[in-house]
Amino acid sequence: MSSLTNSFNNNADNNLCRNHFIHEFQAPKNSPEAHKFNKILLLHVSLIAYHLLNRLSFIHMHYTDYLEDSLRQRDTLELKRNVLRLIDNIVSMENWIEEKYV
């Protein structure tokens, strides 16, 4: 029982010392340390967010242009491939006709 009482007293002393330390070394109310960082840094964070959003918009615009160009290029290549297949089929059919009827 005595060890439990000693443990309780030690915890109470530790809490008392901790509270004394917190209150003794607390920043004064008018000092910058007493203010919350989100109020001080809000302007800087909003400027950073604004620039990041502008950069994101710029990247998105270029991505959209790149995507449109890529799709246009893909359609052009697909059309060329289909034309080459058609030419190959025509040549193949001509060869078949020549073999059949000549």
> At 42, which helix (H) or strand (E)?
helix 42-101
Higher pLDDT, 98 or 11: 98
Confidence bin at 79 (pLDDT 50/70/90):
very high
Contacts of 32 by beta carbon, 8 Å cutoff, 6+ apart: 40
Sorting pLDDT into bands at 50, 70 and 90, what band is 40? low
pTM over 0.85: no
CA distances from 98 to 58, 87, 101 (A): 60, 16, 5
Instruction: Tell me the chain's radius of gyration from C-alpha atoms.
Output: 39
Share above pLDDT 90 across residues of the chain, in percent, rounded to a whole number: 44
CA separation for the pair 72, 37 (Å, rounded): 50
